[in-house]
Amino acid sequence: MSEVKLLLGDCLELMKDIPDGSIDAVITDPPYNVGKDYGKNGDNRQDYKKWCSLWIEECFRTTKDTGIVCIKNITRNLPVMFCEMDKHGTIINQIIWRNVSANHSKKSFWNAYESILVYSKTNEYVFNTYIETQEVSKPSWSKKRRERQKNQMRDIWDDIKNVYSGSVNHPEVIHADDGSKRKAHPCQQPIGLSARIIRFFTNDGDTILDLFTGSGTTGVACVQTGRNFIGMEIEPKYFEIAKKRIHDAQQQMRLPI
């Protein structure tokens, strides 16, 4: 059974207690600095780049040489992410998750994806190449190249739907307790997204850290895939949602088949 530790507080303070090189993978989805309502903790920082620099450095400090740091963000913040992550590691992949945003500007193309940046500290990171496969839509004419491809997963993921709410609800959505159709957390992510990253880049029993736990999606994915989880969340109401979701997932895993 997975070991789970949920910590309430500021990740920069909580990370001080995480030993060097003790984490197998950091998988996190930080605030995007776009003015989302996260309760008492705003999403409109003047020091966003400096703030990101501090927690990204901590991600790499606490990660094992065989581990990875995986951060999801939007296009406007990629220069910051690349700049800061390049200081500590080497990029493995920039995964494109096709996720059409409800927010768009009249002065740019409508955003249709988010990036998931995966970095390693050394070349000894875990990668379970064929834990999932993907049909090749246009197989190569070369037999040797087809054999090398072996339906390996590509870096564009369009088969995992975002968590939506409204007249039609995503099966995983958690609604706010005010009777509305609003999501309890404005940026709830699908379990399948975290689970896929976990299965490819970690092994059974590994420890995953999420600095911005939110509604607890990565924690649920860890329980379902047999990984240990350390989650940090600064907002008490989201901390309670995450705690309940992860507890429910643990109970579900204990049920007889």
How far apart are alpha carbons 249 and 222 in whole angstroms? 10
Q: What is the pairing mode between strands 90-98 and 113-120?
A: antiparallel
Tokens describing residue 66? 């065989």
pTM exceeding the 0.85 threshold for the entire prediction: yes
Predicted local confidence at residue 74, as pLDDT: 93
Strand order in 23-28's β-sheet? 4-8, 228-233, 207-210, 23-28, 63-73, 113-120, 90-98, 156-157
Superfamily of domain 4-137+144-254: Vaccinia Virus protein VP39 (3.40.50.150)
Predicted local confidence at residue 203, as pLDDT: 97
The whole-angstrom distance between residue 227's C-alpha and the CA centroid of its chain comes to 14
Predicted local confidence at residue 255, as pLDDT: 64
How far apart are alpha carbons 196 and 252 in whole angstroms? 20
Helix (H, G, I), strand (E, B) or coil at 55: helix
How far apart are alpha carbons 119 and 152 in whole angstroms? 19
Name, in order, each residue with C-beta under 8 angstroms of 168's C-beta and a sequence gap of 6 or more: none
Local confidence pLDDT in tens for the 257 residues of the chain: 789 999 999 999 999 999 999 999 999 999 999 877 777 666 778 999 999 999 999 999 999 999 999 999 999 999 999 999 999 999 999 999 998 766 677 888 888 999 999 999 999 999 999 999 988 766 666 666 666 667 889 999 999 999 878 878 888 888 888 777 888 788 889 999 999 999 999 999 999 999 999 999 999 999 999 999 999 999 999 999 999 999 999 998 876 64
Predicted local confidence at residue 257, as pLDDT: 47
Tokens describing residue 27? 């998988």
Predicted local confidence at residue 171, as pLDDT: 85
Q: For residue range 52-67, what is the model confidence (pLDDT) as tens digits?
A: 999 999 999 999 999 9
Predicted local confidence at residue 196, as pLDDT: 98
